[in-house]
Structure 1
């Protein structure tokens, strides 16, 4: 059996530790004790320790004060960028939802437009790229309710529209889409029977596109790799992982490679073409 992808928290944790290490080295190179730096920055010595051990994420103002105390003002822009990158790797859904569901969908459009090779694995729902408006509406409604954002901006319809706009990349440019789903996804009643039938029929239609490879992993297939969290690989540069509580962006090359390897193992278990269509058609038949 192949090794599993790394813990989805590893990249974010490593990025925070790398930033903490850079700040600690800067203080040491400036020949400052933790107490001296704290005094120069105007905070308690314990805060310096928490930042250097990665227990506290430094704010932009913290980094500015740190660099000034060490006489390294030229490092401020780079360190602030590193801190923001580390912070964006692991983002709680509730935090992302503050700007509304529509904003979440729209924020991903530039990345989708820039990507040429998509690899998508979903073990729980139909992937967003392949969703119909009805299925997307049901998903986003449940998603917002679960995360306590149902009382937030009333932008559900515009969020669905933004998701559909994002999906236009399926029909534009010379892109490739390799999508894998567990066949149990075909049976999860995310929406009513009419919406589900439309969604499954949409999958059959998309399979006709020459740019789309849709694989279905049968429940009875011998497993070379177990089910895991849903993830999207954008070219060979970044992985987006959807956790229950947060979204995670992975850019560390060795971790991206692990997800690419995991996707390849899952793809070997899937069926394509006529066998995949038969599984989808059978799921439609169960609805009636």
Structure 2
């Protein structure tokens, strides 16, 4: 089954309620997978980075402005990284390290956080190089929750998929992305390269 709900409906009361909903998803999920091609995964965002992202959401969609409350909830959701009860396989596209969010200072703080957190026991963290050859056509970002539900965040709507055949295809896609991604020191080198860019090119 596929369910699509427009963001302006889901965010009709602002960003806090949807962030509460997402906290619930993450607390219930013991093993999650996320592929994020062009921005930082929300559960690793710094407060400054998340503030810029949610401000863009509010301004773009014209929904009630409760950005500080939404950011606070996004920070609260990150506790799943430290409670020892969850594990997340996360693949960022290399582009996510360069997508301009909030300026050089925000980007430097964000990349420094990735370097601090990359070895967390709760994470299997990869970066997909921009030049990587992947055995599938380019795909939008998606998240898989305990192998039971796939979620997409599109421009105008959020989409949830629960059909077993579609779930199997998404797991296959994630495996192909994972096979092409860099992990460990190789991933750190890509992040450090991007950090050098934000520390020099944009000073």
Shorter-chain TM range is over 0.9
Hey, which bits of structure 1, 4+ residues long, moved more than 3 A?
none
Instruction: Report how many residues are paired.
Output: 199
**d(CA) in 1 for partners of 2:16, 2:190:** 33
**d(CA) in 1 for partners of 2:84, 2:124:** 16
Aligned with residue 184 of structure 1, among 63, 84, 95: 95
| SS of match in other structure, 1:161 | helix
1:197 maps onto 2:111 in alignment: no
Assess if the C-alpha contact under 8 Å between 1:117 and 1:235 holds in 2: yes
How far does the alpha carbon of each residue in 1:37-90 deviate from its partner, in whole angstroms, 9 at most, with x for none?
xxxxxxxxxxxxxxxxxxxxxxxxxxxxxxxxxxxxxxxxxxxxxxxxxxxx21
Aligned with residue 15 of structure 2, among 73, 83, 101: 101
How far does the alpha carbon of each residue in 1:107-137 deviate from its partner, in whole angstroms, 9 at most, with x for none?
1212211111010001121111111110000
Assess if the C-alpha contact under 8 Å between 2:84 and 2:122 holds in 1: no
Assess if the C-alpha contact under 8 Å between 1:250 and 1:256 holds in 2: yes
Report deviation, 1:106.
Answer: 0.7
Q: Which of structures 1 and 2 has the bigger CA Rg?
A: 1
Which is richer in helix?
Answer: 1
Name the structure 2 match of 1:83. none
Q: Normalization by structure 2: what TM-score?
A: 0.94
1:172 maps onto 2:83 in alignment: yes
Name the structure 1 match of 2:173. 262
RMSD over aligned CA atoms reads 1.1
| SS of match in other structure, 1:98 | coil
Moved more, 111-120 or 216-225: 216-225
- Tell me, which stretches of 5 or more residues in structure 1 are unaligned? 1-10, 13-88
- Tell me, which stretches of 5 or more residues in structure 2 are unaligned? none
| SS of match in other structure, 2:10 | helix
| SS of match in other structure, 1:191 | coil
Report deviation, 1:219.
Answer: 1.1
Which is richer in strand?
Answer: 2
